[in-house]
Structure 1
């Protein structure tokens, strides 16, 4: 009964709003109520007339700079405000509405209707009720009107608001706005909102902000900051059930699978004892305690909605695949190894591309000429129906790249997809190694196999670091030119493992003049850790000559983020320095005195520069 009333009320209010916008005067609304309003009230003219003044009193009027123009409710013996000519007690006062009309209803509907300058002016007036902003923003986001949703929700979080009064819905509104900033590339706005909520929001909201900050740091690979954000969230909301699986994520990113199990078991006991979680949450945490990686992987797959079934089928397929057929290899006149697809492999790839419709970008180390996940239902179904497609290296390449682009930052997805693919790829890699000779990116179709290896390294880097490094080193041995930039990844992993001597050796073993920023800075950090500070200072001078932003971006506590594109950032740019910070600042911070030493070198060079002028 109440649901039907809500639908009637929304229909009536929407029609009334349209009438008011045509003529912002009360008589026009009453005329509409008598002629059309009854249709929205199940044919009840009395209800249509009784609702009209209630609706009018809460409707913001553009001609009044978004103020309402409320009517004074008449006394029982006075003429009714619906202009029927009858006394109020004999007219609208005797109409019983199924429930109270929400006082923010017309503001909410108006915010969903206004466009352009009118919407902007309404929001800038600061007259919209918080509940109206909240509901209009959420509804706009759910209907795909992202620009409008962002505009409205920004107004909700601007200025002084009683967020505590909106406890049930303000948190999802916060999450939606953060997601909108992420999707639309407003990273500075995202950071500012989180900072403001942490600084001035109630505990339930600042705790959610810390949790979100933790997940953001995990996405960027900044594990030290992720751990700090988690600890702050725990201090703010010590009994939040979401902390159980966020901590599991942090520990898995840190490579502590056993600790993740132990902590999940702790959380289960605590929350069960305190009755702080519902049964479904407790069941999920119990599964985390049993097998955190599989549990989180299953959650990720199930969250893919329409793709959940096909991804589960793909997982089963990959774990039952046999050894692939051998490659057909030849040699160049200089003796280098060459790979070119056989006719069968070309035919298999043709079947794949008919389903996928998106080609690999051959001019990039990683990437497609479009989004392969748009057609994912087609190619996932096609691959599971035709598992022989995986005999073609180009299909392996496309599949691995697609999976790495979507799941490569999640360590718990390694065993689900990347480990079985790596085992299959290893057969081809062994064949290349046994054949002997160089395997250059630029020869024949060699890039297909090398690109597949790079995607596997990226997919396994966070969840299986040693295996990723071992694969990267095997690829480096084949591709001496380091066309894929794998030396940087190997150095980073060695530094994380504390193998500073090996990291230094790898950093010095590449082709002359081909050092990337990450390789050079890895050499600096390795030399610093080995107490070879003079050598580190000399290499740092070369680095700063190539990229003058690196020291400042790396040393500052909260530098301005740089927007990173899909392609590699240009050498020498601030974006390149920012990317390195995202990947490796935690290692500099974890090395005693390293950031302080780095900052001093920057100050010393600045002083020398001023003296030389």
Structure 2
């Protein structure tokens, strides 16, 4: 019955609002109620007449600068306010509404309708009901109007009484955070979440901390992700969402065994509660059995339109057979070259017909445009033509696309990147056994190197040993390292605690760069950390001096907990810039945080230097 009343009320109130907006006249509204409105409430004239004054009293009027013009409620013996001519007790007072009449209803409907300057002026009105803002913002976002939804929800979250916010404000916080993220408003997103953490009630603070933790995970800032998770755990210790959040964090940190143990703990703990939904409990059980596989399946099915093709792609990759032979030839310098054959070319042309993202700069990892906007097209074509997976240029672009979407998710390594790695590994084995050099710049060799780099980045979180081995194999083939594999490999060595190897590799690269003007910042930072871990602090200090010469921002950014973030950009940062320093902070700071005493030592070195 309540649902029927809500539908009936919304229909009637919308019609009443149309009537009011024509001339903002109460007599006109009552004329509409008697002659048209009754049809919207099942022909009940008494109900139509009783509702109209109630709705009039809460309607914001443009001619009153968005204030209402409420009528005084008549006494029992006074003339009824519906202008029927009868006493109130004999007229509208006898009508019992079938359900509640929200006091903010007409404001909510008005906010959904107003556009442009009218909406902006209305949002400046000091007495806009908070519930109207909340509901209008959520509904507007769900109706595909992100700009208007953002305007409305921003006003809602400027409310001074955060602690009085209803529980509906949690999905509103999620919506506004998503809107900021989709529209690239990173500072606004950060400020909103910070405000919710600082001022919100526990349920809202917990939701904001969860989002902050995910943001840190996305940027690979595992130290802040861990701290934020612990704060969320203190705020909402029994929230089911924290279970999968902790498992994600542990997998990012490379603690697969602990992830499985904690998943089992959460399952046992939450299964004793009566308020946990069956689907949640089933997912927790899957997490406890195989955390990475459960998260991978969840992520795939959360892709909505892409869930089925991604699932089919996972199955197809899992069934890849032996790698087909490459078209290899020996050039005049006795080096090996790979060349596209006719089949490669034909397959690649067909693939490009649906993929439409030619790789631009040969050293660029990601395609020149967002290929996920039409991923349904190229995934469907790939599934219909499994033979395309025999073509290295197609595998290169597929790996690039998958890395751009899933490369920072450890649990996606096994289903998507490991099968592609196995195929490339078989090709590399053939090349290695030839005993000939294989250089990036010759023939179409770059395709295999770029495929390798994409797979290294896709594997490094979920299968670090495979990623390191692949990087070493590619460097052994061409030591000139045009793709910057040594920086990637150094970060992997530090993550695995292989400090002696990290020092040897960075020293070898420094010898290669002797006399060159541009030094590789990542190698220097990694070398300094590895030397510190090996208690070779004097040598580490010498490296820090060189780091400061190459980029004067990086040491300060490494030591500060919450520096100003650099805005996201697709452009390669300029050498020596703060943007370059921020890039390396994101890449390396977790290693410094996880090294006992390293940041304190670095801070002292910065002050005394």
TM bracket, shorter-chain basis:
over 0.9
TM-score, normalised with respect to structure 1: 0.94
The yes-or-no answer on 1:12 pairing with 2:12 is: yes
Q: CA deviation at 1:518?
A: 1.3
The yes-or-no answer on 1:554 pairing with 2:558 is: yes
TM-score, normalised with respect to structure 2: 0.94
Q: CA deviation at 1:375?
A: 2.2
Q: CA deviation at 1:162?
A: 5.1
**Whole-Å separation in 2 of the counterparts to 1:159 and 1:376:** 40
**Whole-Å separation in 2 of the counterparts to 1:422 and 1:190:** 37
Q: Structure 1 164/429 Cα, relative in aligned 2: closer, same or farther at 3 Å?
A: farther
Alignment of 1:568-583 (within 5 A): 568-583=572-587
**Whole-Å separation in 1 of the counterparts to 2:111 and 2:478:** 59
**Whole-Å separation in 1 of the counterparts to 2:594 and 2:17:** 60
8 Å CA contact 2:41, 2:48 repeated in 1: yes
Task: Show the counterpart of 1:361.
Answer: 360
Q: Structure 1 47/468 Cα, relative in aligned 2: closer, same or farther at 3 Å?
A: same
Matched residue count: 604
**Whole-Å separation in 2 of the counterparts to 1:568 and 1:581:** 15
Which segment drifts farther, 105-114 or 57-66? 57-66
Task: Show the counterpart of 1:185.
Answer: 184
8 Å CA contact 1:163, 1:170 repeated in 2: no
Q: CA deviation at 1:165?
A: 5.0
Task: Show the counterpart of 1:75.
Answer: 75
Secondary structure, aligned partner of 1:166:
coil
Q: CA deviation at 1:164?
A: 4.5
Q: Structure 1 65/392 Cα, relative in aligned 2: closer, same or farther at 3 Å?
A: same
Task: Show the counterpart of 2:466.
Answer: 467
The yes-or-no answer on 1:586 pairing with 2:590 is: yes
Secondary structure, aligned partner of 2:271:
helix
Q: Structure 1 332/570 Cα, relative in aligned 2: closer, same or farther at 3 Å?
A: farther
**Whole-Å separation in 2 of the counterparts to 1:278 and 1:160:** 34
Q: Structure 1 139/479 Cα, relative in aligned 2: closer, same or farther at 3 Å?
A: farther
Task: Show the counterpart of 2:244.
Answer: 245
Q: Structure 1 494/2 Cα, relative in aligned 2: closer, same or farther at 3 Å?
A: same
**Whole-Å separation in 2 of the counterparts to 1:45 and 1:335:** 96
Alignment of 1:83-98 (within 5 A): 83-98=83-98
The yes-or-no answer on 1:174 pairing with 2:173 is: yes
Secondary structure, aligned partner of 2:329:
strand
The yes-or-no answer on 1:54 pairing with 2:76 is: no
8 Å CA contact 1:30, 1:82 repeated in 2: yes
**Whole-Å separation in 1 of the counterparts to 2:202 and 2:283:** 25
Task: Show the counterpart of 2:524.
Answer: 520
Secondary structure, aligned partner of 1:126:
coil
**Whole-Å separation in 2 of the counterparts to 1:61 and 1:216:** 42
Secondary structure, aligned partner of 2:575:
coil
Secondary structure, aligned partner of 1:330:
strand
Note the aligned Cα RMSD (angstroms).
2.0
Secondary structure, aligned partner of 2:166:
helix
**Whole-Å separation in 2 of the counterparts to 1:361 and 1:42:** 64
8 Å CA contact 1:134, 1:153 repeated in 2: yes
Secondary structure, aligned partner of 1:327:
coil
8 Å CA contact 2:165, 2:201 repeated in 1: no
Q: Structure 1 442/45 Cα, relative in aligned 2: closer, same or farther at 3 Å?
A: farther
Task: Show the counterpart of 1:545.
Answer: 549
Which residues of structure 1 form unaligned runs of 5+? 606-613
Task: Show the counterpart of 2:419.
Answer: 420
8 Å CA contact 1:351, 1:389 repeated in 2: no
Alignment of 1:213-252 (within 5 A): 213-252=212-251
Q: CA deviation at 1:435?
A: 2.9
Secondary structure, aligned partner of 2:272:
helix
Q: CA deviation at 1:419?
A: 0.7
Question: What per-residue deviation string (whole Å, max 9, x for no partner) do you get for residues 276-304 of structure 1?
Answer: 52222111111111111111111111111
**Whole-Å separation in 2 of the counterparts to 1:338 and 1:126:** 72
**Whole-Å separation in 2 of the counterparts to 1:439 and 1:161:** 66
